Amino acid sequence: MGKGRRLRVMVAKPGLDGHDRGARIIARAFRDGGFEVVYTGLHQTPEEIVEAAIQEDVDMIGLSSLAGAHKYLFPRTVELLKERGADDIVVCGGGIIPDEDISLLKDAGIKEIFTPGTPLDAIVEWVRENVKPR
């Protein structure tokens, strides 16, 4: 058996947004950072994402949204994790998120928001600092 905890993260695309190039690039950056990355594919409900995250025993869920429904989808994911007693899983988000929404999302329990232009290295570094294998 391979020894030691390895960070497991999930990259998920909630809602009807059909663009996952960004999510795929993030997934790749996480892989190159040495994490195990579970990718869910497009058009996921928060319920599906949370269930998958629990089955996969991930340490973090990264939500990507470019279609404007983040104010519902992101907090709903956090809420469902709480309901399932799995709120030790860190949630962060990225995509097209207006600045004025960020504090609202953080208040709802999303730990960090990454907007366009954030260097990949900075995101990987943030995860390393802030997410520990549970």
Partner 1 sequence: MEAMKKIAEKVVAGDIRTVARLIRDIDDGIPEVREILKALYPYTGRAYVIGITGAPGVGKSTLVDQMVNRLRKKEKTVGVLAVDPTSPFSGGAILGDRVRMQRHSMDQGVFIRSLATRGHFGGLTQSTRSSIDVLDAMGKDYILVETVGVGQDEVDVVKTAHTTLIMVIPGMGDDIQAIKAGILEVGDVFVINKADREGTDKTVSDLRLMIDMDQEKYRNGAWKPPIVKAQAVFDQGVEEILDEIQKHRDFLTASLGGLDVRRNQEKVRQELTDMVKNRLIEEVLTQITETGEFEKAVQDIVGGDIDPYTACDNLVLPKVGMSPE
Q: Compare residues 43 and 103 and give the one whose CB is closer to partner 1.
A: 43
* Choices 35-43, 72-80, 96-104, 105-113 (CB under 8 A): range interacting with partner 1: 35-43
SS (H, E, C) the chain: CCCCCCCEEEEECECCCCCCHHHHHHHHHHHHCCCEEEECCCCECHHHHHHHHHHHCCCEEEEEECCCCHHHHHHHHHHHHHHCCCCCCEEEEEECCCHHHHHHHHHCCCCEEECCCCCHHHHHHHHHHHCCCC
Of residues 17, 22, 23, 39, which one binds partner 1 by CB under 8 A?
39
Q: Compare residues 57 and 121 and give the one whose CB is closer to partner 1.
A: 57
**47 in contact with partner 1 (CB under 8 A):** yes
Of residues 6, 82, 128, 132, which one binds partner 1 by CB under 8 A?
6
**51 in contact with partner 1 (CB under 8 A):** yes
Q: Compare residues 104 and 122 and give the one whose CB is closer to partner 1.
A: 122
